[in-house]
Structure 1
Amino acid sequence: MDFTPIPGFTNPHLQTLLPRFIRRKAIFEPVWQRLDTDDGDFLDICWTEPPEHAGNKPVVILFHGLAGCFYSPYANGLMASFRERGWLGVLMHFRGCSGALNRLPRGYHSGETDDARFFIDYIEQRFPDVPKAAVGVSLGGNMLVNYLARYQHDSHLSAACAICPPLDLADCAHRIQKGFSRVYQAYLLNSMKNTLRDRLLRHPQVGSLKTGDTINISSIYELDQQVTAPMYGFRDAEDYYQQCSGLQYLNQVSIPFKVIHATDDPFMTGAVIPKGSLPDNIDYHVTEYGGHVGFVGGSLSQPVFWLETAVPDFLALHLGDATSVKANQSTSDRTVTAS
């Protein structure tokens, strides 16, 4: 299914920002749950309905993007679409993203899969007899590629989808420092620096920063250099980017996997698009327009959030769907395609 933007709204920045202007409130309120982790911390998760009432519904797991949460427009929109398909949706907040300060200084990054594994194991133990799928958005999409490659033989998932994943982290960190994209970087950094300040009030050291230090961070690269790399044992930001960029791991993904990317995404460049063919189980779908996790079609009076149809349509091929997908929908196009 091709994406067609709202007439006159093909600009990538308009596409990126439109969801926040159109969808100012969450479509529904989720059911919250706190999971205690093995290291003495917790993960806050959101369900589309009380899980004890879900019966044998397929489960779809959502991993949000950098500094995102359930109330990000794309997140509650996708969760609502999962619910409408008759599935049980559940979102895992990365540490520090649920609005509650975690107990430990540890946070999250684009290649950190331990929390995802803990969470998916929990879902597998709770719902052992139903099919399960996962969707990762932006940073969560790159993390999901890392997860699927690491656990290619026991991911517990029937299918997965990544939306606008920064599969070349170094290139994306450079791209977001250019032009209007610096506005997005400033927005993301403001949120993350506030969380970092709170963590430094509770912990004597976070990354290379110590309590009382001035937080002199003006770019995602500097954040990764001063916090992400030292906290997770990377030599520096470049080492982190090299080890965790998902592009190099795509060929190791063994389940049906769809990647959605817009060529006009202001967070990244063509460096995230694989060169040549891909394994038959991977569909890398490239659109001309869409911005970063935008993809708003229809009209201003009746906007259509294309991702909320395209993603469930793909997952339905592997989970089953109460509203059914057209029988003639093709799944044979598994190399890089353009629409």
Structure 2
Amino acid sequence: MNKLFSPPWWATSPHIQTILPFIFKVTKPVTFRQRQELPDGDFIDLDWLGQAQNGEPILVVVHGLEGSTESHYVRRILTEAKKAKITAVVHHHRGCSGEPNRLARSYHSGDVNDLAFTLSQLTHYYPNSPLYAVGYSLGGNVLTKYQGSAQQNSLIEKAVVVSAPLTLAACAKRLESGFSTVYQRFLIKRLQRKMLDKINTADLTAQMPISKKQLKMLNTFYLFDDKVTAPLHGFTGVNDYYQQSSGLNYLQHITKPTLVIHAQDDPFMTDDVIPNKDQLSPMVEYELHPFGGHVGFVNGGWPWKPTFYLEQRIMNFLLADNDITTQQ
């Protein structure tokens, strides 16, 4: 357990840690968009901060469920990358860049193929630039699975995983109780709106696994994943999806330096996401904090102007062996 992170007295609640960063977002640095056509006829968008030259590293940012470049944690890591003068690129999941994707399918917690495609494109066009990556929440689970399944063939030199739901079934169950249901309700409504748009799209209606009436009844992640996520992405059901997509069992196969950061009070998770020593590869550094909430880790300031632990920790880990150093 790493004790470098300590919340201020007014931010020990996991819900303050989770919600406050969402409310007080930093200004996003200027980015430019690149559309990337996928082999199956769909697309994803990349948002670039700068452009790598002379073999400079590229930081790949993988956002969480229904996130984007506008997410508070993405804005902050882009700001930190700008300070460190390194190029960063946000890999949007399908349909998360502000425009619906073309196909009936979308993205899910174990979808490593789109990330692998982005990484292969970056390696092709910037062959001398080492690739670093940071994944948050769902994106952290995707990054974990990619690192563990690719093993020595991973195109990422170093990675950081933040607040990842590494055991999906347990996390889905956690969100069905207490105040955590507020987060579930917020996210489910966003997913339902997206699915409703697809049900209403003439070319996609026949491919939808449910009707509008059925969609309104899916008020938990377990139900949504069973009736929508699983059938749309080739799983036999929700349990098959959760079993194949959970990142926990991939940690032991990771061969590239990877830092995993969790908060034990994360309202999206239970202790089931915490790996034991036998589940950790020697290349994985695991950091568990008593406090921090979900992608929160507020470590100072005041409620109207909080400061954060994550960005400095992420950049220091990724750039430890580089001449580039982060600015305090």
* TM superposition score category, shorter chain reference: over 0.9
- Report the Cα distance in structure 2 between the residues aligned to 1:110 and 1:306, rounded to whole angstroms: 25
Aligned to 1:109: 108
Aligned to 2:129: 130
Aligned to 1:66: 65
User: Do the aligned partners of residues 5 and 71 (structure 1) sit closer, same or farther apart at CA in structure 2, a change above 3 Å counting?
Assistant: same
Aligned to 1:175: 174
8 Å Cα contact 1:162-1:258 kept in structure 2 = yes
The alpha-carbon deviation at position 86 of structure 1 amounts to: 2.0
Describe the SS at the equivalent of 1:153.
Answer: helix
8 Å Cα contact 1:132-1:159 kept in structure 2 = yes
Specify the code of the residue in structure 2 equivalent to 1:245: S
Deviations 1:89-122 (A, max 9, x none): 0011101111101111111111111111111101
8 Å Cα contact 2:112-2:142 kept in structure 1 = yes
Deviations 1:57-84 (A, max 9, x none): 2001011000111101001111221222
Q: Any residues of structure 2 matched to 1:219-298 within 5 Å, and which? A: 219-277=220-278, 278-298=280-300
- Report the Cα distance in structure 2 between the residues aligned to 1:40 and 1:126, rounded to whole angstroms: 21
- Report the Cα distance in structure 1 between the residues aligned to 2:100 and 2:47, rounded to whole angstroms: 17
Which residue, out of 315, 318, 322, partners 2:318? 315
TM-score by length of 1: 0.90
- Report the Cα distance in structure 2 between the residues aligned to 1:188 and 1:43, rounded to whole angstroms: 21
The alpha-carbon deviation at position 276 of structure 1 amounts to: 2.5
8 Å Cα contact 2:60-2:134 kept in structure 1 = yes
The alpha-carbon deviation at position 214 of structure 1 amounts to: 4.8
Deviates more, 1:166-175 or 1:213-222: 213-222
Deviations 1:102-143 (A, max 9, x none): 111111111111111111101111110111111110001111
Q: Are 1:26 and 2:33 an aligned pair?
A: no
Q: Quote the sequence identity (%).
A: 38
8 Å Cα contact 1:297-1:306 kept in structure 2 = yes
User: Do the aligned partners of residues 99 and 325 (structure 1) sit closer, same or farther apart at CA in structure 2, a change above 3 Å counting?
Assistant: closer
User: Do the aligned partners of residues 172 and 48 (structure 1) sit closer, same or farther apart at CA in structure 2, a change above 3 Å counting?
Assistant: same
TM-score by length of 2: 0.93
The alpha-carbon deviation at position 168 of structure 1 amounts to: 0.4
- Report the Cα distance in structure 2 between the residues aligned to 1:54 and 1:293, rounded to whole angstroms: 31
Q: Any residues of structure 2 matched to 1:208-223 within 5 Å, and which? A: 208-210=209-211, 214-223=215-224
8 Å Cα contact 1:62-1:90 kept in structure 2 = yes
Specify the code of the residue in structure 1 equivalent to 2:37: D
- Report the Cα distance in structure 1 between the residues aligned to 2:327 and 2:285, rounded to whole angstroms: 17
5+ unaligned residues in a row in structure 2: which ranges? none
Describe the SS at the equivalent of 1:151.
Answer: helix
5+ unaligned residues in a row in structure 1: which ranges? 327-339
Describe the SS at the equivalent of 1:317.
Answer: coil
- Report the Cα distance in structure 2 between the residues aligned to 1:17 and 1:142, rounded to whole angstroms: 21
- Report the Cα distance in structure 2 between the residues aligned to 1:187 and 1:34, rounded to whole angstroms: 28
User: Do the aligned partners of residues 207 and 152 (structure 1) sit closer, same or farther apart at CA in structure 2, a change above 3 Å counting?
Assistant: farther
Aligned to 1:184: 183
Aligned to 1:156: 155
8 Å Cα contact 2:319-2:325 kept in structure 1 = no
Which residue, out of 4, 7, 17, partners 1:5? 7
Aligned to 1:333: none
Q: Aligned residue pairs: how many?
A: 322
Describe the SS at the equivalent of 1:248.
Answer: helix
The alpha-carbon deviation at position 42 of structure 1 amounts to: 0.8
The alpha-carbon deviation at position 298 of structure 1 amounts to: 1.3
The alpha-carbon deviation at position 245 of structure 1 amounts to: 0.8
Specify the code of the residue in structure 2 equivalent to 1:99: G
Root-mean-square deviation over aligned CA pairs: 1.9
8 Å Cα contact 2:258-2:283 kept in structure 1 = yes
User: Do the aligned partners of residues 275 and 323 (structure 1) sit closer, same or farther apart at CA in structure 2, a change above 3 Å counting?
Assistant: closer
- Report the Cα distance in structure 2 between the residues aligned to 1:288 and 1:213, rounded to whole angstroms: 40
Describe the SS at the equivalent of 1:13.
Answer: helix
Deviates more, 1:77-86 or 1:118-127: 77-86
Describe the SS at the equivalent of 1:298.
Answer: strand
- Report the Cα distance in structure 1 between the residues aligned to 2:181 and 2:214, rounded to whole angstroms: 25
Deviations 1:158-199 (A, max 9, x none): 111100100000000000111000000011111111111111
8 Å Cα contact 2:136-2:163 kept in structure 1 = yes
